[in-house]
Amino acid sequence: MSQWRWGRRSLRTRLLMTVMVPLLALLLMNSLITYVGALIYANHVHDKNLIDDTLTLVQLMATKSPDGNVTSQAAFLLEYEPEGRNYFSVFSAKHGLVAGNPTLLPPDGLFKDGNETQLYDIQIEKHALRAASIQMTNPRDATDELEVTVAETLHDRHMEARQILLLSIPAQTVLIFAAFLLVWLGVRTGLRQLDPLTTQLANRQHDLAPIGDEDVPEEILPLTRTIDGLFARLRAMLALQERFIADAAHQLRTPLAGLSVHAERAQASSDSATVQDALNHIQRLIQRANRTSSQLLALTRAQTIEHEDGDSEPLDMAVLIPELVGQRVHEAIAANIDLGYDGPAGPLWIDGDRHRLQEMLDNLIDNSLRYAGSGALMTVALSREGEDICLAVEDNGPGVPLAWIERLGERFFRVPGCAEEGSGLGLAIVQRIAEWHDAKVRYFAASKKGGLRVEIIFPVKRG
């Protein structure tokens, strides 16, 4: 296990092993091919010699042995082999064996296509032999046919093939290891191209700028682009944290300063009415600070627009939205606002996050409850708009002047002249949550008399 880990950590070792194993396999395969080729060549040469020996015996039978017998000296020479023995035989069609080994008999039908020399394999006394046979007319009897056969063992053929293989292996080995050395030098030189990139990253302190593709080898571009993606996410996260700190400092400065002023009032005055008034102001400022901090946190969460596995799920808006609206009815009644819902009976499915959708709808309803005014009408409507789904929140309050509608959704933007307290973050949260759902936010004047209509267009769930 430790060796595997060591190899995994060393890119050079893994590259060399990746090359070395195929090179060794190539050496073995090349040796096998060399041996087979050498054996084919040895068989070709020995077959030719075997045919020559057979023709020599035929010539001997025709000229030197008119009686059909082979001298003992000739028989010795024909059967001699340093590492084994050879065989020969002469069979007469009329008289049977004339000379040689009685077991060396050509197979039946060997000469059905003519009297040419025939080569074939045979086995005698558990020895594999290669044989050559020829048919001739008996010199003593023109009506008789002789079958002359010479055979040899395969020992010499295999020995010569092994010798050729042994002669070629050293050269092949040197060639393979020379190739391995060149690969090693190439890998070593190639990996040095990573040194400038390593030095560049090592010299960085807090710089999260992209590495870029310039002077980066093509093979590691996927790695550097992945690192650039990581840097981009880190930059976005740090920017989000910096924005949150700046927003918190901006929004909490006023209530904290007010708390300090009214606390000093309470401490400096002995009048119970003044103290009570200061405490009331302190309580309202604390509530404002709590709401602002809560909305800042909500905005920070909403601005994290990257999706992760498990964030989204199929949601039926025709079921979810009425349920969420129902949870706000008591607050609407307390604010003397008529809150209603209008939507279809059939399902309307999207891919979304229930908690984000609830936070988005709560901010839309809070916005109307805060600014529509007592006695206003507010309607949450759900409908299909072409292939998409439209969620709308509309009220008949004073509305927003047309000159400012385009700025709704900006962080900390509040319509000039608005008397109600607020942080200017509610619609910004709605905007970010809509972006998380790939939805679009639209703002309209509800009617010529006033009011505000906010529409969120969601893409329908596919499949």
pLDDT of 76 reads: 46
Residue 279 has pLDDT above 50, yes or no: yes
pLDDT score for 215: 66
In a domain, 131, yes or no: yes
pLDDT the model gives residue 295? 64
Query: Higher confidence at residue 197 or residue 79?
Result: 197
Are 287 and 340 in a shared domain?
no
Q: What is the pLDDT of residue 292?
A: 66
Q: Given 268, 302, 336, which residue is the final one in a domain?
A: 302
User: Does the pLDDT of residue 65 top 70, yes or no?
Assistant: no
| H-helix segments, 60-137 | 72-79
Percent of the chain's residues with pLDDT above 70: 77
Same structural domain, 19 and 43: yes
Provide the domain limits for residue 135. 13-161
Q: What is the pLDDT of residue 246?
A: 66
Q: For residues 344 and 66, which has the higher predicted lDDT (pLDDT)?
A: 344
Average pLDDT over the chain, rounded to an integer: 78
pLDDT, tens digit, 9 for 90 and up, residues 214-234: 666 676 777 777 877 887 777
Pair 291, 352 in one domain? no
Assign 3-class secondary structure to 271-300. Answer: CHHHHHHHHHHHHHHHHHHHHHHHHHHHHH
From 139, 161, 183, the end of a domain falls on 161
Average pLDDT over residues 422-426: 68
* Angle, in degrees to the nearest 10, between helices 272-302 and 354-371: 140
Q: Encode pLDDT of 139-157 as tens digits.
A: 777 788 888 888 888 888 8
Considering the domain architecture, whether residues 143 and 31 belong to the same structural domain is answered as: yes
Higher per-residue pLDDT: 286 or 441:
441
Whole-angstrom distance, CA of residue 361 vs CA of residue 439: 14
Over residues 155-178, the pLDDT tens digits come to 888 888 888 888 888 888 888 888
Tell me, yes or no, whether 172 lies in a domain: no
Q: Which of 170, 187, 207 is nearest to 16 (CA)?
A: 187
**pLDDT digit string (tens) for 363-398?**
888 888 888 888 899 999 999 988 899 999 999 888
Say yes or no: 257 and 348 in one domain: no
For 135, the token pair is: 């048919």
* Domain shared by 268 and 321, yes or no: no
pLDDT for position 252? 64
Residues whose CB is less than 8 angstroms from the CB of residue 94 and which lie 6 or more positions away in sequence, other chains included: 138, 141, 143, 144
Among 274, 302, 330, which residue terminates a domain?
A: 302
Residues 329 and 290 in one domain: no
CATH number, domain of 368, equals 3.30.565.10
Examine the domain organization and report whether 148 and 283 are in the same domain: no
In a domain, 47, yes or no: yes
Q: In this structure, are 358 and 254 located in the same domain?
A: no
User: Is residue 380 assigned to a domain?
Assistant: yes
Residues 325 and 263 in one domain: no
Same domain? 143 vs 265:
no
Instruction: Classify residue 112 as left (phi > 0), alpha (psi -120 to 50) or beta.
Output: alpha
Residue 419 has pLDDT above 60, yes or no: no
More confident residue, 112 or 302: 112
If pLDDT is split at 50, 70 and 90, which confidence band does 291 have? low
Residue predicted with more confidence, 461 or 41: 41
- The pLDDT tens digits of the residues spanning 389-415 come to 999 999 988 888 877 788 887 776 667
Residue 169 lies in a domain: no
**Percentage with pLDDT > 90 across the chain:** 10
Whether residue 271 is found in the same domain as residue 350: no
Most confident range, picked from 23-32, 84-93, 184-193: 23-32
Distances (CA, A) of 328 to 333, 339, 363, 370: 9, 8, 11, 13
Which pLDDT does position 273 carry in this prediction?
Answer: 83
Asked if residue 171 is part of any domain, the answer here is no
pLDDT one-digit tens code per residue, 447-457 = 777 788 999 99
CATH number at residue 135: 3.30.450
Comparing CA positions, the residue from 62, 245, 257 lying closest to residue 140 is 62
Q: Within a domain: residue 192?
A: no
Q: Is residue 166 part of a domain?
A: no
Overall pTM > 0.95: no
Higher pLDDT, 191 or 282: 282
Number of domains in the chain: 3
Taking 50 as the threshold, does the pLDDT of residue 86 lie above it?
Answer: yes
- Inter-CA distances, 336 with 181, 321, 326, Å: 88, 22, 16
